[in-house]
């Protein structure tokens, strides 16, 4: 009988749990209109690639948002419909002119921001189509959003953070630990047959099918999970 594979061990072992007490909080745009908040603190978060900015509202409430490039402690950010086109201000997509770089874009009005939240990322307003606004996403895909969805003006801070190499194994260890990942990561084909379904053989290759069904047991759920297709494309069938 083989040993439990990685996928099974992750279910109960505290080794794979994220130390959530180190997280300052989630990135969420304030659900207010026509107010001016003050940035009281710029925070490093282990699980966010971009820094977080703590925004203090006039009623005393605070909110954490991903920091836009150019913001500093003591600056004011405007939230509402009639705001200046200045980095850090939050407004609806319908009020942002074409060609403007934006970040932290809402998919649905009021969800707090879901798109373009990685350090150095930004989307671009392409066109206003009636009640919809076409946005060019960081991936290059153009997507239409409802004009009442909000976004932050500017490019996210932290550009180039991922370009710095992890010079030591310790740096890679703590990066993985902050996100609940396993480091070092050993491939299944490098293991023995008792350790992984892909283990064994006279050379490192997957022997047997590499695709498993969605409902496969955790002990065998490795490789391509419920793939829509595998292998080379043979052209369109007529």
Return the minimum-mean-pLDDT range out of 17-26, 56-65, 217-226. 17-26
**Structural domain contains residue 229:** no
pLDDT band at 237 (very low <50, low <70, confident <90, very high): low
Q: Taking 90 as the threshold, does the pLDDT of residue 7 lie above it?
A: no
**Structural domain contains residue 51:** yes
**Structural domain contains residue 119:** yes
Rg (CA), the chain: 23
Return the minimum-mean-pLDDT range out of 50-54, 90-94, 226-230. 226-230
Provide the residue range defining the domain that includes 118: 21-161
CATH no. for residue 122? 2.30.30.30
DSSP assignment of the chain, as one string? -PPP-HHHHTTT-GGGS--GGG--------S-SSEEEEEEEEE--TT-SS-EEEEE-TTS-EEEEEPBTT--TT-EEEESSS--S-TT-EEEGGGSPTT-EEESB-SSTTS---BS-STT--EEEEEEETTEEEEE-TTS-EEEEETT-EEEESPBS-TTGGGS---SHHHHHHHHHHTT--SSPPPGGGS-TTT-TT--SSSSS--S--EE-TT--TTT--SEES-S--S-------
pLDDT mean over 13-22: 76
**Structural domain contains residue 114:** yes
**Structural domain contains residue 170:** no
User: Quick one: pLDDT at residue 77?
Assistant: 95
User: Quick one: pLDDT at residue 92?
Assistant: 95
**Structural domain contains residue 220:** no
Encode pLDDT of 130-188 as tens digits: 999 999 999 999 999 999 999 999 999 998 887 889 999 999 998 888 888 888 999 99
User: Quick one: pLDDT at residue 236?
Assistant: 58
User: Quick one: pLDDT at residue 1?
Assistant: 60
C-alpha span between 119 and 161 (Å, rounded): 7
The four Cα atoms 218, 220, 224, 225 give a dihedral, to 10 degrees, of -40
User: Quick one: pLDDT at residue 218?
Assistant: 84
Query: Residue 178: which of 7, 17, 10, 9 has the closest Cα?
Result: 17
Handedness of CA 220, 226, 232, 237 (dihedral sign): positive
Task: Note the Cα 155 to chain centre separation in Å.
Answer: 15
**Structural domain contains residue 42:** yes
The four Cα atoms 38, 42, 45, 49 give a dihedral, to 10 degrees, of 100
Q: Taking 90 as the threshold, does the pLDDT of residue 53 lie above it?
A: yes
Q: What share of the chain in percent tops pLDDT 70?
A: 96
Q: Taking 60 as the threshold, does the pLDDT of residue 193 lie above it?
A: yes
Q: How many domains does the chain have?
A: 1
Encode pLDDT of 74-83 as tens digits: 999 999 988 9
pTM: 0.76
**Structural domain contains residue 84:** yes
């Amino acid at each position: 009988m083989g040993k439990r594979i990685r996928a099974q061990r992750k279910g109960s072992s505290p080794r794979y749990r994220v130390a959530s007490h180190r997280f300052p909080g989630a990135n969420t745009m304030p659900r207010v209109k026509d107010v001016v908040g003050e940035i009281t603190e710029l925070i490093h978060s282990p699980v966010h690639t971009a820094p977080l900015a703590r925004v203090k509202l006039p009623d005393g409430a605070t909110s954490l948002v991903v920091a836009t490039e150019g913001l500093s402690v003591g600056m004011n950010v405007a939230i509402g419909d009639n705001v200046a086109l200045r980095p850090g201000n939050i407004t609806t997509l319908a009020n942002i002119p074409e060609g403007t770089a934006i970040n932290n874009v809402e998919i649905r009005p009021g969800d707090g921001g879901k798109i373009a939240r990685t350090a150095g990322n930004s989307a671009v307003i392409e066109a206003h189509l009636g009640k919809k606004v076409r946005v060019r996403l960081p991936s290059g895909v153009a997507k239409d959003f409802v004009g009442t969805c909000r976004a932050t003006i500017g490019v996210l801070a932290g550009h180039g953070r991922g370009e710095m190499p992890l010079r030591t194994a310790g740096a890679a260890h703590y990066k993985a630990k902050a996100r609940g990942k396993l480091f070092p990561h050993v491939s299944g084909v490098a293991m023995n047959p008792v350790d992984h379904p892909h283990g064994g053989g006279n050379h490192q290759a997957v022997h047997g099918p590499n695709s498993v069904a969605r409902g496969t047991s955790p002990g065998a759920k490795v490789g391509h999970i419920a793939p829509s297709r595998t292998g080379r494309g043979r052209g369109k069938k007529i």
